[in-house]
Amino acid sequence: MRTEARVFLFLVIFFGVVTPAYAGVTWWLDGALEPIGTTVLALTLLFSAMIWGTFAITGRTLTRGNQPGRPEDRKDAEIIDGVGALGFFPPKSLVPFWSAIAIMLLLLGPVFGWWISLIGVAVGIWTVFGWAYEFYVGDYRH
């Protein structure tokens, strides 16, 4: 997690410099603060800081003594140190596709009509049940 924390620390520093610079330059050129770009940059700074903080705290809690807990964070690690089960993944699933459709319908609702969002909520409920019960029905039943 230390490497990931360093990447996001760079982003925090970058957006911490760019956001006030952007706000200052737009104020100087236009005589008013440009709200959309400044808001987007400020939110990007805050989100990057949130992810950096999560990775930094997790990286600190994973250390064992003086050694990092993950093989990716150790300089003397071998490839064999990272061997093991990475998780269980379904061989095929249509639920991610329907989840994307539900999110699309939810986001298109305010643009074209709120009734579309209601369809998105219905499809979203269906996909939540699909995620939860994916391995209880069909070919991959446990």
13 and 49 in a single domain? The answer is yes
Domain boundary among 82, 107, 122: 82
Domain span at 44: 2-82
pLDDT along the chain (142 residues), means of 10: 88 97 94 92 97 89 68 78 76 89 95 93 94 78 66
Q: What is the pLDDT of residue 65?
A: 66
The dihedral built from the CA positions of residue 106, 108, 110 and 116, taken in this order, carries a sign that is negative
Specify if 13 maps to a domain.
Answer: yes
Specify if 90 maps to a domain.
Answer: no
Specify if 89 maps to a domain.
Answer: no
Q: What is the pLDDT of residue 26?
A: 94
Residues whose CB falls within 8 Å of the CB of residue 37, separated by 6 or more in sequence, listed in order: 22, 26
Specify if 87 maps to a domain.
Answer: no
110 and 73 in a single domain? The answer is no
Q: What is the pLDDT of residue 142?
A: 63
Q: What is the pLDDT of residue 77?
A: 79
Q: What is the pLDDT of residue 9?
A: 96
- Indicate the number of domains in the chain: 2
Specify if 17 maps to a domain.
Answer: yes
Specify if 88 maps to a domain.
Answer: no
Specify if 61 maps to a domain.
Answer: yes
Tokens (6 digits) for 105: 């319908």
Specify if 35 maps to a domain.
Answer: yes
Residue-wise DSSP of 75-116: TT--GGGG-S------S--SHHHHHHHHHHHHHHHHHH-HHH
